[in-house]
Structure 1
Amino acid sequence: MPYLSPQSLLNTSWTIHRLSPLHHRKEFQTLVDNPDALKTYSKRLRNLLTGDVLRGVQVGLSGSDASSDALSKAGALKECLWGLIPTWSHWNEEQSVLEDPDQEQLLVSAGDCLGILVTLEYEHVTYKAVLLAGPDGYHETREGSTYLPVLLTRLPNPLRNTFVSFLSANFDAFCSVIRLPSDFLCAALEAYIMAFTPADGSDQSSNNTTRELLEEVLGGMQLTLAFSPPIAPALKALDVHLPKESLAAFVIDGSTIRQTDMPHRPSMPFLESLSSYFNKHLAMKLDLNDSPGRCGTGSQHVRLSKIACSAFVLSGEGRTKIIADAGRVTPVDNSVLTETEDPEERKNRLILKANESILRALIHRVIGRDMSEIQEKDT
C-alpha cells in the first residue's frame, strides 16, 4: 500500500466539500487499511477517466465547455494513485521505515490515518483530491462503511464533477461544497494565533518572543469584511490590511486584556482587541466577538468573509490554503514545547500545531461540533 507524506496538503489551494459516509460493504469490509480496496478503486477511476469500458458502458470525460480546455491541455493520464496519508506524528516517527516496502502494511492503522490522497498525474499537470479524516486520525468505521467527512479537491470543474460522480456511484456518497460562515473564520483565526501565544500569562520577555514569532510566521494579514445590503447597499466588501507589526500588537493587546480586565479570558482576544480599535478610532462597530464562543449573531451586519496571510488562506466561499515550508515541518508534541528547546525547532512545532488547528476546525465544522472545542483543544 502506498503511503504518502502529509506534506501533500501544504501549499495547495483547495476547494472544501462535505462528504457523507463511504459505503463499500458490497465489495470490501474496510477501506483505509485495505490495500486491495485502494488498488481496485484506483484502477476503476483510471478506467473512467481514460474512457475505458466500465460495467459494459463506454465512459470518459467529454464536453465542449470552456472549462474542459484545461484537461485537453493536460495531456494523457499517466497515473492514478490512491494512497494513505499518515498523521504528522506517525509519519515522522516511521518515515525512515516507510522506505522499506516489506514493512509498510504494519505501519499505519486506521487510527493513524489522516486521510486518503487521490493523485491524478497527467503529462503536463498533476491534480489531486484528499478524503480527509483529520489531524487526530478522526474517522468513523462501521461495518462496511467509512466516514471521512471532508473532501479537499484541486481539480478543474469537469474533472471534479466526474470524481464526485465516481464517489456517488461506487460508495453511494453525497458531496457538497461547504461554505465557511463568519463565526467559523473568526474561531479558526483565533485557534491559529493561540498556537503561538502563551496560555498562562505573559511577561515582557515572552511578549517579545511571541511578537517576533508572529511577525515571522504570519507576516501581514488581509481581512475581508462583508456587509449586509441594508447597511451598505453600495459596499459589498472592505479589505483591511494589517502590517505584521500591527498584527502582532493586536495579539499582545488581546492577551493583556485577558490578563487584566477579563481574567476569564475573552473567547477571541485578537478580534476583541481589533474590534475595540475599530470602535474607538474609526467609529465602526465590528462586533466580531459579540458573544462567548461565537463571532456573530443573526442581526450582525458586518461579517468576516476571508482571511489571507503568509501562513494560510481561508475563504467563506469554501476555499483554503495552508502555506508552509514542507521540508522544515516536524510533528507536534506539546510535552516538548519548552522554553529551553531550540528556538528553530520550537517554531517549527508551533507552526505545525497551528496548521493542524485549521484541519481540525474543518472537521469540526462538517461533523457539527461546537467551535469552542477547537480553542479548548489548542490551549
Structure 2
Amino acid sequence: MNSDDIDPLSLLWNTSFNLHKITPLNLTGALTSQTNLKSHSTRLTNILRGDVLRGVRVAESQNSNDDSTSRTGALKKVKFATTTINDELSAVAIIFLYEKITYSAFLVQSSSRLNAAATETSRRTSLRRASVREDQSNHYPLLLTRLPAWLQSRFLEYVVENFDCHVSTLRLPDGFIMKSIEKCLELFTPSSDGNVTDDTQPAKNLQIWLEPPTTKDTEQGTKNGKLQTLKTISMTFTREDIPGLLYKGRELKERLEDENDGRGPFELALSLYAYHHMGIFVEKMKLSKAACAEFITGTAADGSGKCKFFAPKAARQNGDGEAVEETRRHRSWDGMLGSLVEIAS
C-alpha cells in the first residue's frame, strides 16, 4: 500500500472537530462519482500549492515564505474519498496530506434519510425524480473540520465557490448535550430488580461541566453576565455508579410521570443529587461540556459546537469468529454523529 494512502476513518475517530452546517451542494452528478472526486482533489491541491490562484497559474515559490510551511512542510496532495461510517452514515473525507502533518474534513450524510427521500421521490415523474435524487445525493448537512485557521478559511472558501452552497457554524441547541447523554447511557439502566453487572456498566466514567446562568434578575430587569463568584462546576460519575444513578432516575421518572416535564432518568437523578449534596439547581445551570466513552462535546460562548468522537467497540465474536450482536446493545440512537447530522439537516 502506498504510504500516502490513509484510511479516512482513522482520521475521524479520537479527533476533535469544529462543527458546521452546510446547504446541499450544487454540481453536475454526485460528488461521490470518481470523476468529481478526482477533479476536486486535483483542483484543490493546485489552489493550495499556489499553482492556480483564481484561475491564473502562478509560481509555487510565492507561497514558500508562508509561516505555515515551516510547520506543515510542503503540501503533497489533497484527496477527496468516500467512506462508510456505519450502516446509517456515510461521508466524503477531504484529506490534506502535508510532509509533516495530515489534516482532515468530513462531509457527512445519513444514508437512511437519503434512501427514505429517494423512495418518496419515486412517486413523481422520471425527469423530476432524477433531478431531486441528484440534489439529495449531494446533501451533506454536517461538515466536520480539523484544520488550522488559515487552511480552514481557504477550504471553506473553496467549498462555497465551487459547490454554490452556504456554510455556517453549527450551534448546538439548548438541551442537546443532556439529551445525548441520556441516549448514550440508556443501555446501562439496570433491570427492574436493580441488579448491576459488568455488562451494564459503561466503558468509562462520565464527566460534565455546568456553568451558571448568563442572565440574572434584578429590580431593573434581566441583566446579562455570569455570576462572578462561580465560573464552572465539574462533576465526575464513575462507571460503577452510573447504573445505580440511572436506576434511581427511572424510579423518579415513574413517580413524576404525571408531570411529564421531558427530563430523562439521568437528569432527574443528577438534579436530586446536586440539590441535596451541593445546593445547586441543575435546571438553572447550563451544561456546557460532557465527556463519556463515546464522545466529548461542548459549546463555546457563542453556542458553536466542537466534538470528539471515539471509535465504536468491536462486536463480540462467537466460536466461529462471527460477529454477535448483543441484545442489550440494541438501541435506536445512531450515536453522536447521527444526532449532529439530524440537527444540521
Partner deviation per Cα, 1:99-136 (whole Å, 9 max, x = no partner): xxxxxxxxxxxxx7611001111111110000010364
Write out aligned runs for 1:263-342 (5 A). Answer: 267-287=263-283, 301-317=284-300, 318-324=305-311, 328-330=313-315
Q: Find the residue that maps to 1:147 and give its secondary structure.
A: coil
User: Partners of 1:135 and 1:256 in 2: how far apart?
Assistant: 37
Q: Determine if the alignment matches structure 1 residue 22 to structure 2 residue 12.
A: no
User: Partners of 2:69 and 2:213 in 1: how far apart?
Assistant: 37
Q: 1:176 Cα shift?
A: 1.6
Structure-1-length-normalised TM-score: 0.69
Q: Determine if the alignment matches structure 1 residue 88 to structure 2 residue 86.
A: yes
Q: 2:166 maps to what in 1?
A: 174
User: Partners of 1:59 and 1:14 in 2: how far apart?
Assistant: 33
Q: Find the residue that maps to 2:209 and give its secondary structure.
A: strand
Q: 1:142 maps to what in 2?
A: 132
Write out aligned runs for 1:175-324 (5 A). Answer: 175-197=167-189, 202-205=192-195, 207-209=196-198, 211=200, 213-214=201-202, 217-230=203-216, 232-259=227-254, 262=257, 267-287=263-283, 301-317=284-300, 318-324=305-311
From 326, 337, 341, give the equivalent of 1:359: 337
User: Partners of 1:114 and 1:49 in 2: how far apart?
Assistant: 26
Say whether the 8 Å CA contact 2:299–2:306 is kept in structure 1: yes
From the superposition, tell whether residues 184 and 169 of structure 1 become closer, same or farther in structure 2 (CA, over 3 Å).
Answer: same
Q: 1:74 maps to what in 2?
A: 72
Q: Determine if the alignment matches structure 1 residue 132 to structure 2 residue 88.
A: no
User: Partners of 1:271 and 1:113 in 2: how far apart?
Assistant: 28
Q: 1:353 Cα shift?
A: 6.4
Q: 2:126 maps to what in 1?
A: none
From the superposition, tell whether residues 244 and 197 of structure 1 become closer, same or farther in structure 2 (CA, over 3 Å).
Answer: closer
Q: 1:348 Cα shift?
A: 11
Q: 1:284 Cα shift?
A: 1.7
User: Partners of 1:59 and 1:219 in 2: how far apart?
Assistant: 53
User: Partners of 2:198 and 2:247 in 1: how far apart?
Assistant: 11
Q: Find the residue that maps to 1:253 and give its secondary structure.
A: helix
Q: Determine if the alignment matches structure 1 residue 49 to structure 2 residue 35.
A: no
User: Partners of 2:245 and 2:263 in 1: how far apart?
Assistant: 15
User: Which consecutive residues of structure 2, in runs of 5 or more, have no partner in the other structure?
Assistant: 118-130, 217-225
Q: 2:39 maps to what in 1?
A: 40
Say whether the 8 Å CA contact 2:107–2:142 is kept in structure 1: yes
Q: 1:359 Cα shift?
A: 1.1
RMSD value, Cα:
3.6
From 122, 125, 148, give the equivalent of 1:156: 148
Say whether the 8 Å CA contact 1:114–1:136 is kept in structure 2: no
User: Partners of 2:331 and 2:308 in 1: how far apart?
Assistant: 16
User: Partners of 1:162 and 1:59 in 2: how far apart?
Assistant: 18
Q: 1:291 maps to what in 2?
A: none
From the superposition, tell whether residues 30 and 189 of structure 1 become closer, same or farther in structure 2 (CA, over 3 Å).
Answer: same
User: Which consecutive residues of structure 1, in runs of 5 or more, have no partner in the other structure?
Assistant: 90-111, 288-300, 337-341, 368-379
Q: 1:355 Cα shift?
A: 8.3
Q: 1:3 Cα shift?
A: 10
From the superposition, tell whether residues 3 and 119 of structure 1 become closer, same or farther in structure 2 (CA, over 3 Å).
Answer: closer
Q: 1:258 Cα shift?
A: 3.8
Identity, % of aligned positions: 25
Structure-2-length-normalised TM-score: 0.75
Q: 1:105 maps to what in 2?
A: none
Tell me which structure has the larger Cα radius of gyration.
Answer: 2
